[in-house]
Structure 1
């Protein structure tokens, strides 16, 4: 007999808290044989480090996954023409998020290498260390596949014309060309089931670490359970989303009055601290992670901020986003009013990505504690509107704002939740997906036309070279 979700999650988290270029990309590189590189825990830790490093890249969370979902929708606008993100701002054909590459699938393969071999009795090392590395691999594989699903597929129950395909699903490693094979795409539902399984495994293996501690630089039980809650929200499993969010909020000390989040006066400064005080999972960037020119050419700081005179500053907040903030909302202070040559009127530069570590360098909080309040509010809005309003008000109390209308319910309450998400996570890579996963048209800024949910441009295209290489690979509709 299955345990109820809340009871299962509670038992898992209690256990965890006691513990300290194509999809055929191969790792490790040919310079090291698996027998040498993977003979002890240190070798597997190196593979785990590779997973994190791949997530840092500019084609993933280092830039694209934070900017593209915002400018594909209505939160950002271009204020300089450098050729970057012009197609995304206009939602041009094949101008979308490109994750079907060796970065993401290479990260999946790293995870598969760990999971396939670390428990071998011939691998030297303590079992406790093996378990943590294994938990990290389960979490990162889940994150990689979750992102592939939301970029290339429709969420379950939101399919257009019955199209339900997601990424290619691989759970065994590709160590050499002889291991490679061409596969068809799995359904999003099949991949979601694998993600759920991976996250439940990771929760049981990883330590529970405090919000904003250095432990958030690695996969941890809180991050896994938060990602699980997010997965359930995308999946439409609202009771499970609420249960997962509540479990981890209780475990992390996130209270119903908002205690555990930053106070309003500390909000902006929080984005210039490492780790971010609200981080549940954060990618740590260091100078060794990029070359001397990467910062000015590719960093979030350079592209979205003018804090450094040599910054590119090509992307700013849309006027529509700025108009959506209430006057006392401290989140508005994450945008600084300035001017830009060739642009009439005020321009708003980001103060979330300030390069506070020097030379355009900063960490990237991928999962913040504030998300749990809004996940739970959305999961509750139909079944428990009072509870949903309470979660919104708890967050707002830490953002310098008073409570929302005590009678707000139904569609108006749902719209309020999406608005709070828009304001809270601006330039953190959520806006496009929040609209898409709810089957909504993609709203745009200025004179750009909104994209109907049934439009083929809602999904990204698989690179043509991959479709030509693999005759079992079905392209997304419309491309």
Structure 2
């Protein structure tokens, strides 16, 4: 056996190798082992040889995005634990204790891993699109357009997650702040490591371009509830665009997009009979229980015991009885502690929270049992309705805004009566409160504060973090700064 040793220090200097799916040989027996094809992997030159292999590449893009370090758990977790909604139990740096305290720095390994997996997935998309250029005619033009559209949806989703966590909000100065590197070409070596960050506006422009092209190329659906939930279709791209436009404060565009999949009046549902049908579930608990494929689940990342999110990434591990890394804040600052706005009989309180003991109330949206393979919800119809409600309140029909808000509240607390909704500000405030309740633990709290330029009320830091504070967003990881000289330009 002849061993091959890897210089770890040298690897750290290779820059983008941290971001690329490069296979490393670590050893083999026999001097001729390099002369034989692998029996367990497909050579790169034939990955686009058949329709089946191309579909496997598409599935691989989703598989990369649902890594536990990204959308398998960490994206949602980081955006919730930084706020006032959760208290920490374990002081475990592996599960975000320094993030909760706002003491994390550029050397944080776990946040760096989030960055790495995000860009790894983006690079895989870039490589996939380029490989299609080099392998024409293997699938029909229609299917090629669909696959390209799915890839662009995945890239848009990843870029949004990265720019939201690592750059100041678009609303601060119409996106003129320094953003993150915009990588659109596939990289297979470290030759193009150096790349200065684009502005936040440029990142958002690319996200919207990808989503507009995705909407045009995606199918109207796939024929099964499972595929309609786990693969992007036209409504999936539209739903994500409502989130992006809301983050940019482009309320009229939110209304335009949302109207494609929301009826004019209650009961609200998707009006296009050709596309996938969407509507709120009568019982919100069903959205988070098997088979995770209701009409409200627009897009989720599926999990199974063979591809679970990985240890200490899973949502159930963090919040439910599996480990309880974080429990609900009973104090006045946390939405759980406000029993006037979130009443005791609300189905979201009775169905998703539990008094675990005298000291802890926990969030039970996700199973507390290993291996924690709940599907992770990325886009729900409830979000589209509340995105639209906020946009209507800001620049449109305030009566419709109230009706949309009431639709979400009444399905969980049908006797609740909103009061004082006589101004734009009052309606918007009620919508923001509703979002805190409806999306608790789903990664919305910090993005909602950021897009409104509100301070992040941090339980862990014991203070409010204003938008001018460097801690308002994550620092660029040290590994990226070390290997990409363009970051400091």
Same fold flag (TM > 0.5): yes
Structure 1 or 2, whichever has the larger Rg, is 2
Which of the residues 372, 379, 389 maps onto 1:377?
389
Question: Alpha-carbon deviations, 1:63-83, whole Å to 9, x = none?
Answer: 211111111011211133434
Which of the residues 98, 101, 104 maps onto 2:118?
104
What is residue 301 of structure 1 aligned with on the other side? 316
Question: Alpha-carbon deviations, 1:117-157, whole Å to 9, x = none?
Answer: 31445452222322221111010011011111111112334
Contact 1:23 1:106 in 2 (8 A): no
Which of the residues 65, 68, 72 maps onto 1:55?
65
CA distance in structure 2 between the partners assigned to 1:102 and 1:42 by the alignment? 28
Which of the residues 136, 143, 146 maps onto 2:157?
143
User: What displacement does 1:286 show?
Assistant: 1.6
Q: How many residues align?
A: 437
2:80 corresponds to 1:70: yes
Contact 1:78 1:316 in 2 (8 A): yes
Give SS of 1:393's match: helix
Which of the residues 274, 287, 301 maps onto 2:305?
287
Give SS of 2:79's match: helix
User: What displacement does 1:102 show?
Assistant: 2.7
Question: Alpha-carbon deviations, 1:383-423, whole Å to 9, x = none?
Answer: 23222111101211212233422643222222111111111
Structure 1 window deviating more from structure 2 (424-433 vs 119-128): it is 119-128
2:215 corresponds to 1:203: yes
Residues 472 and 240 (structure 1 numbering): CA distance in 2 closer, same or farther, change over 3 Å?
same
CA distance in structure 1 between the partners assigned to 2:176 and 2:401 by the alignment? 32
2:376 corresponds to 1:364: yes
TM (norm. structure 1) is 0.83
Where in structure 2 are there 5+ consecutive unaligned residues? 1-13, 25-40, 270-277
CA distance in structure 2 between the partners assigned to 1:456 and 1:338 by the alignment? 36
What is residue 3 of structure 1 aligned with on the other side? none
Contact 2:308 2:371 in 1 (8 A): no
Structure 1 window deviating more from structure 2 (462-471 vs 115-124): it is 115-124
Cα RMSD between the aligned structures? 2.8
What is residue 338 of structure 1 aligned with on the other side? 355
What is residue 10 of structure 1 aligned with on the other side? none
Contact 2:168 2:177 in 1 (8 A): yes
Q: How does 1:325-474 map to 2 (within 5 A)?
A: 325-339=342-356, 345-354=358-367, 359-383=371-395, 384-401=397-414, 402-405=416-419, 407-445=421-459, 448-474=462-488
2:268 corresponds to 1:268: no
After TM superposition, which residue ranges in structure 1, 4 or more long, deviate above 6 angstroms? none
Residues 211 and 241 (structure 1 numbering): CA distance in 2 closer, same or farther, change over 3 Å?
farther
Contact 2:285 2:352 in 1 (8 A): no
Q: How does 1:141-180 map to 2 (within 5 A)?
A: 141-159=155-173, 164-178=177-191, 180=192
Give SS of 1:416's match: helix
Contact 2:74 2:313 in 1 (8 A): no
User: What displacement does 1:242 show?
Assistant: 0.9
Where in structure 1 are there 5+ consecutive unaligned residues? 1-20
CA distance in structure 2 between the partners assigned to 1:234 and 1:55 by the alignment? 21
Give SS of 1:247's match: coil
CA distance in structure 2 between the partners assigned to 1:370 and 1:168 by the alignment? 32
CA distance in structure 1 between the partners assigned to 2:181 and 2:392 by the alignment? 33
TM (norm. structure 2) is 0.82
Q: How does 1:182-193 map to 2 (within 5 A)?
A: 182-193=194-205
Give SS of 1:450's match: strand
CA distance in structure 2 between the partners assigned to 1:187 and 1:471 by the alignment? 17
Give SS of 2:452's match: coil
Question: Alpha-carbon deviations, 1:166-222, whole Å to 9, x = none?
Answer: 1111212113445x3411000111111111111011101112239965312111111
